[in-house]
Structure 1
Amino acid sequence: MKYPIIFAAALLLLACNRDKTAEVGTEGMNAAATAVADDTKANPVVDNPNVVSENEAPNPNAPVMKFAEAEFDFGDIKPDTKVRHTFTFTNTGKSPLLIEDATASCGCTTPSWTKAPVAPGAQGSIEVQFDSRGKRGIISKQVAVRANTQPSITTILIKGNVLDAAGSAAPL
């Protein structure tokens, strides 16, 4: 088992060309950097039209995610239960809105979202499920929604108060 690894390592060492001087190697690195710079001039990088830099004006045709509510309070939550809330949004922009992903601030919170593009004027939804198992007291969880909007990340929030096993609020 050890011999194939040793053999592969020996081949790698033998494959290296040790006849090159340090000066030639440096020239090679500079030549590669020059080639990349020349290639960038010949083929400029195309920026994402939905990403706004300091020097650019926002894209007036970009999709816009407008939530009916960006925060939801569950109030008191029974221990060891799962609660859900659906956030609805409207694309008030001028091009289709596509959600790339939605990421929760902890593993106890699970988002699911509209996968199809949301046309201008149409509605989409993001359902957020919170699992209170092992939690107690005041909770506040964020979900970062990444889409082709400006800015590219929109945050929604859930909060509540997980009761203890006896059904009373946890002491502060």
Structure 2
Amino acid sequence: MKKLVFYMLMMVLSISYASAQAKADIKFDKTTHDFGTFSENNPIVSCTFTFKNIGDAPLVIHQAVASCGCTVPEYTQEPILPGKSGTVKVTYNGTGKYPGHFKKSITLRTNAKTEMMRLFVEGDMTAKDAK
């Protein structure tokens, strides 16, 4: 019985210690970007999302995955120190895609308090012969 109480106490203390550790936290200036209307004549558009580490530990982006191959994310690779900023650049390539409205997502996996978050890009691509 004493061993059980001891192990339970150790488990509670371990969980308390783990939750008190410093954590990174990420805050974006915006999480959605609207490209508006652009022509199929110039089907490649880009935007940059800026974020800041508002936590107490270095922030690391482990992975950025787009919802399809027409959207490519590029992100700050090195750890972002507390109080510093980084970027995620998203490029949409509409070459060969059907004109019209699109909405794509980029899923980020980080070591922040919120380990996974999504960014969105959307817009309307008009046909080449549209005026």
Aligned to 1:21: none
- Which stretches in structure 1 are left out of the alignment for 5+ residues? 1-56
Determine what percentage of the aligned residue pairs are the same residue: 33
- Which stretches in structure 2 are left out of the alignment for 5+ residues? 1-17
Matches within 5 A, 1:50-89: 61-79=22-40, 80-89=42-51
Which structure is higher in strand share? 2
Which residue identity does 2:107 align to in structure 1? A
Distance (Å, rounded) in 2 between the aligned partners of 1:96 and 1:143: 22
- Work out whether 1:93 is the aligned partner of 2:93: no
Return the structure number with greater relative CO, CA threshold 8 A, min gap 6: 2
For 1:127-172, what per-residue CA distance to the aligned partner results, in whole angstroms no more than 9, with x for missing partners?
000001122100000000111012211100000001111135xxxx
Compare CA radii of gyration and give the structure with the larger one: 1
Match of 1:158 among 105, 121, 128: 121
Match of 2:86 among 112, 115, 124: 124
Per the TM alignment, residue 59 of structure 1 is displaced from its structure 2 partner at its CA by 5.6
Per the TM alignment, residue 58 of structure 1 is displaced from its structure 2 partner at its CA by 5.6
The alignment's TM-score, normalised by the length of structure 1, stands at 0.62
Distance (Å, rounded) in 1 between the aligned partners of 2:51 and 2:45: 20
Per the TM alignment, residue 115 of structure 1 is displaced from its structure 2 partner at its CA by 0.4
Matches within 5 A, 1:40-59: none
Distance (Å, rounded) in 2 between the aligned partners of 1:58 and 1:161: 45
The alignment's TM-score, normalised by the length of structure 2, stands at 0.80
Match of 2:24, SS state, is coil
Aligned to 1:139: 102
Deviating beyond 3 angstroms after TM superposition, the runs of 4 or more aligned structure 1 residues are: 57-60
Distance (Å, rounded) in 2 between the aligned partners of 1:92 and 1:142: 23
Distance (Å, rounded) in 1 between the aligned partners of 2:121 and 2:92: 9
Distance (Å, rounded) in 2 between the aligned partners of 1:71 and 1:60: 31
Alignment size in residue pairs? 113
